């Protein structure tokens, strides 16, 4: 038998054995006038014996914060009374918001007493490393899933933001990349010319600069520059959003932070890094030409002819390919550190620092792996 508590609000109770069913209908909005339904409900629930309460809807037209407040107050009352409850067929938005209000950060491996001793510290570091790797691989797995969503055109991104990211990671970084690449090529050529002049082999400075810049230094220099410039910026931006609870707000509105914040940054940097690397290669070779022409007998035409003969297309494409991989490393490290940032200003600084250190470390490791792999493959 159903008991109608409030005809205007659309709230009724029926008893199904040990389960008490609370049924919502009509319209549940802040504009609707209703008596103190909570007190009526508590009074009715105290009269009946039940082990569990289940929420259901029956022709629920509209709902807003009023329904959330009411369901949450009932849940608090049931928790105090140590009675179980089920959300039943409540709208998914209501269930997500209620669960979010009840969420408590999980303390995975906090110990009551801080251990002391050398072996204890090693154990703690090992456990922290394990959980860190677990979180990192989970992050990468979710990123891969969301990248497929992007390719299918179903990702939750703003194209205006994506175009701005393309601009900030590409054209705005061109000046600093060109300057440092020019100086790098100049330094390599200066050192090479001084040594090669002893053997009257000045012309081979073009081979040295061309191969070093296209195969290794162009991609690595761009990676290091972008790690300090863009990777730290990604970590700081997302970390600041974490501090201001903007990431939680996105989750509350049903927007995936991974799709909205991470995917556009990863794709933008992966697209721009090869272009920056190609520019760095050209400017670095140009810097080497300035030194070769200035302090040796090599002419400009001889220098570029020697570069053309020494540097093959596979050398150029190898460096460009590595730069795309370095771009993904930088973007993933920056976004991961930002999303896992703490809740204060110090944590934002630590996230930016960690993003730069992580990016450069993995760039060097990846470059070493590529060097060995390309040698074995004969590239």
CATH number of domain containing 84: 3.30.750.24
Q: Are residues 82 and 163 in the same domain?
A: no
CB atoms within 10 A of CB 329: 24
Q: Which residues contact 68 (CB under 8 A, 6 or more apart)?
A: 94, 97, 98
Give the E-state strand segments of the chain in sequence order: 2-6, 11-16, 19-28, 52-63, 84-86
Single residue among 61, 80, 102 that ends a domain in this structure: 102
The percentage of the chain sitting over the pLDDT mark of 90, rounded to a whole number, equals 33
Asked if residue 302 belongs to a domain, the reply is yes
Asked if residue 215 belongs to a domain, the reply is yes
Asked if residue 30 belongs to a domain, the reply is yes
Q: Are residues 80 and 181 in the same domain?
A: no
Q: Are residues 190 and 295 in the same domain?
A: yes
As for how many domains the chain has, the answer is: 2
End-to-end CA distance of the chain: 80
Mean pLDDT of 318-325: 93
Q: Are residues 208 and 86 in the same domain?
A: no
Q: Which pTM was predicted?
A: 0.69
Q: Are residues 244 and 369 in the same domain?
A: yes
pLDDT value for 183:
93
Residue 85 per-residue DSSP state: E
Asked if residue 243 belongs to a domain, the reply is yes
CB atoms within 10 A of CB 242: 21
Q: Are residues 94 and 164 in the same domain?
A: no
Asked if residue 333 belongs to a domain, the reply is yes
Asked if residue 98 belongs to a domain, the reply is yes
**Euclidean distance between CA atoms 160 and 167, whole angstroms:** 11
Angle between helices 65-80 and 37-47 (to 10 degrees): 30
User: Which of 192, 223, 239 has the alpha carbon at shortest distance from 341?
Assistant: 239
**Euclidean distance between CA atoms 131 and 109, whole angstroms:** 9
Structure tokens at 285: 């070779």
The residue range of the domain holding 34 is 2-102
**Euclidean distance between CA atoms 38 and 367, whole angstroms:** 65
**Euclidean distance between CA atoms 103 and 106, whole angstroms:** 9
pLDDT value for 109:
47
Single residue among 102, 125, 142 that ends a domain in this structure: 102
Q: Are residues 339 and 254 in the same domain?
A: yes
**Euclidean distance between CA atoms 48 and 76, whole angstroms:** 18
pLDDT digits (tens, 9 = 90+) for 41-97: 666 666 767 778 888 888 777 788 888 888 888 888 788 778 888 888 888 778 888
Mean pLDDT of 216-244: 91
Residue 182 has pLDDT above 80, yes or no: yes
């Amino acid at each position: 038998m159903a008991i109608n508590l409030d005809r205007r609000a659309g709230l009724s109770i029926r008893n199904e054995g040990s389960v008490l069913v609370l049924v919502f209908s009509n319209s549940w909005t802040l504009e609707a006038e209703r008596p103190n339904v909570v007190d009526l409900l508590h009074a009715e629930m105290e009269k009946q014996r039940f082990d569990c309460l289940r929420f259901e809807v029956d022709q629920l037209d509209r709902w807003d914060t009023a329904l959330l407040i009411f369901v949450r107050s009932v849940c608090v009352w049931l928790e105090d009374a140590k009675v179980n409850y089920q959300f039943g067929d409540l709208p998914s938005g209501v269930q997500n918001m209620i669960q979010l209000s009840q969420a408590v950060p999980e303390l995975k491996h906090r110990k009551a007493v801080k251990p002391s001793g050398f072996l204890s510290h090693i154990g703690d570091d090992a456990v922290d490393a394990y959980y860190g790797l677990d979180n990192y691989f989970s992050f990468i797995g979710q990123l891969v899933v969301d990248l497929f969503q992007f390719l299918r055109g179903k990702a939750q991104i703003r194209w205006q933001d994506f175009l701005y990211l393309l601009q900030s990671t590409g054209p705005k970084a061109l000046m600093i990349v060109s300057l440092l690449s020019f100086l790098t090529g100049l330094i390599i050529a200066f050192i090479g010319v001084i040594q090669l002049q002893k053997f009257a082999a000045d012309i081979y400075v073009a081979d040295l600069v061309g191969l070093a810049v296209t195969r290794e230094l162009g991609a690595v220099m761009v990676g290091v520059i972008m790690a300090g410039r863009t990777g730290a910026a990604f970590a700081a931006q997302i970390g600041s959003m974490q501090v201001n609870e903007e990431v939680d707000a996105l989750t509350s509105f049903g927007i995936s932070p991974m799709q909205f914040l991470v995917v556009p940054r990863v794709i933008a940097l992966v697209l721009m890094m090869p272009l920056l690397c190609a520019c760095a290669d050209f400017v670095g070779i140009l810097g080497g030409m300035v030194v070769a022409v200035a302090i040796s007998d090599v002419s400009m035409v001889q220098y570029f002819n020697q570069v053309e003969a020494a540097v093959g297309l596979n050398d150029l494409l190898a460096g460009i390919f590595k730069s795309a991989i370095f771009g993904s490393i930088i973007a993933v490290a920056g976004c991961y550190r930002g999303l896992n940032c703490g809740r204060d200003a110090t944590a934002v600084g630590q996230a930016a620092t960690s993003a730069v250190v992580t990016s450069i470390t993995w760039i060097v490791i990846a470059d070493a792996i590529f060097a060995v792999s390309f040698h074995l493959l004969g590239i």
